[in-house]
Amino acid sequence: MASDAKPSVDQPSAGTTGTSSTGTSNTGTDIVFRDVTKVFKQGKKEVRALQDITTHIPAGSIVGIIGYSGAGKSTLVRQINGLDRPTSGQILLDGQDIVPLPESQMRKLRSDIGMIFQQFNLFSSRNVAGNVAYPLRLQGMPKQQREERVKELLEFVGLSDKGKAYPEQLSGGQKQRVGIARALATNPSLLLADEATSALDPSTTRDVLELLRKVNRELGITIVVITHEMEVVRAIADSVIVMESGRIVEQGSVYEVFSNPQTQTAANFVATSLRNTPDMVEAEALQSEHGRLFTVTMAEGIGFFDAVSKLSAAGVTVNIVHGGVTTLQNHSFGRLTLRLTAHDAAGEQAIEEFHSHMQSSTEIEEIR
């Protein structure tokens, strides 16, 4: 069950190490937050941007951090790459507390962290190859080695024919692929993606998320995805952290949080992705026809189909009028809204028995 009491955010995906077609092999970064608080001063007023953050992001996992604007998501990420420092608490990267490190050591540490941005942040005066090569130039990599590395990276992100193109000649999805290639240039073990798909259309978003999955699968890199879109979390993440007002209000595997959210904030985000419960307008339209309406929470082992068979045997007309079932992390779940129409007293009794049976094994709500 997902809850705000867990210090752990589930398990890594397929593995924590990987070897890719780029010829690199990584072990992802393990991240631990211990009682991290960040306080900003605005005149005489103190604003707690982060409050008592305790969580664990395992090496090689993909974790989605979701919340509304002002929830503290971006502030949390800035603590990971050391662009901001917490007021109190510890942040451990592979067991090393980075909070007390001097800026000189933090600069070295940042070379092991790749960043992907919402607005791509590409140099308009440099072509694709020049953008990807930029962090390698800063590292002092020899030209021939640098060109070979850029070629490998562009092939990895599917842009092997775009090296001489300039950003203005690229689509949004292609620009983000360049951004990902650049982030991978220094062979990092951690990738931070801050609203990386917010400026993209749904089809392009799917392509970029699949590329990030490939990065994780083949390179073993830990990926932290900051987003306000639950569909992004659903598509890519192993685990999810839900934030509100600077606090972690819920965390767990994607399946746990999607199938059984424990807070209203998480439930609201899940509802935007699954859309498996009638809204007020839909419910009103459904009620205009004869029969009783029930919304049943679907899960494995609740005996739903046996119960529906008994309804049919009793002469009750059963229609599925709304809902959806999805599969995440090898578990199926969702909600279905049924219209049950009885034609005699026996049918009415069968509906009551169905309601009682479902109440004992899952959640069921009658729409009145």
What share of the chain has pLDDT > 70, as a percent? 92
Tokens of 337: 């809204």
Q: What is the pLDDT of residue 281?
A: 73
Superfamily, domain 17-112+188-273: P-loop containing nucleotide triphosphate hydrolases (3.40.50.300)
Q: What is the pLDDT of residue 98?
A: 96
Q: Cα-flanking dihedrals φ and ψ of residue 215, to 5°?
A: -55, -45
Amino acid at 309: S
Tokens of 330: 């090898």
Question: Residue 131 belongs to what H/E stretch?
Answer: helix 128-138
Let me know if 155 is exposed, middle or buried by CB neighbors in 10 A (0-12, 13-18, 19+): middle
Strand runs (DSSP E) across the chain, as ranges? 17-19, 25-27, 31-42, 45-57, 62-66, 88-93, 96-97, 113-117, 190-194, 222-227, 239-244, 247-253, 292-298, 317-328, 331-341, 364-367
Mean pLDDT lowest for which of 17-21, 148-152, 182-186, 197-201? 17-21
CA dist 105 → 100, 101, 108, 221, 364 (Å): 10, 6, 5, 21, 56
CA dist 258 → 57, 241, 327 (Å): 19, 12, 10
Q: What is the pLDDT of residue 17?
A: 47
For the beta carbon of residue 341, count every other beta carbon within 10 angstroms.
17
Q: Can you give 7-43 as a three-state secondary structure string?
A: CCCCCCCCCCEEECCCCCEEECCCEEEEEEEEEEEEC
pLDDT at 296 exceeding the cut of 90 = yes
Q: What is the pLDDT of residue 5?
A: 40
> Which range among 137-146, 197-206, 318-327 has the greatest average pLDDT?
137-146
Nearest by Cα to 219 from 184, 243, 172: 184
Fill in the DSSP letter of residue 169.
Answer: G
10 pLDDT band, cuts 50/70/90, is very low
Pairing of strands 31-42, 88-93: antiparallel
pLDDT, tens digit (0-9, with 9 covering 90-100), for 326-368: 878 778 888 899 999 999 999 999 999 999 999 999 989 998 8
Q: Domain boundaries in the chain?
A: 17-112+188-273, 280-367
Buried b / exposed e along 281-302 (16+ C-beta atoms within 10 A): eebeebeeeebbbbbbbbbeeb
345 or 22, which is more confident: 345
Torsion of CA 108, 113, 117, 120, to 10 degrees: 70
CATH topology of domain 280-367: Alpha-Beta Plaits (3.30.70)
Spacing of C-alpha 273 from chain mean position: 12
Rounded distance between C-alpha atoms, residue 214 and residue 217, angstroms: 5
pLDDT, tens digit (0-9, with 9 covering 90-100), for 68-119: 988 999 999 999 999 999 999 999 999 999 999 999 999 888 889 999 988 8
pLDDT, tens digit (0-9, with 9 covering 90-100), for 206-253: 888 999 999 999 999 999 999 988 888 988 999 999 999 999 999 999
254, 62 contact by CB (below 8 A):
no
pLDDT at 56 exceeding the cut of 80 = yes
pLDDT at 16 exceeding the cut of 70 = no
Give the angle 237-241-246 at the CA atoms, nearest 5°: 145
Average of per-residue pLDDT across 278-307 = 85
pLDDT at 277 exceeding the cut of 80 = no
> What do you get for the CA distance between the two ends of the chain, in Å?
30
Average of per-residue pLDDT across 42-63 = 94
Nearest by Cα to 82 from 71, 61, 97: 97
Length in residues, the chain:
368
Mean residue pLDDT of the chain comes to 88
Q: What is the pLDDT of residue 26?
A: 59
Rounded distance between C-alpha atoms, residue 213 and residue 211, angstroms: 5
33, 53 contact by CB (below 8 A):
yes
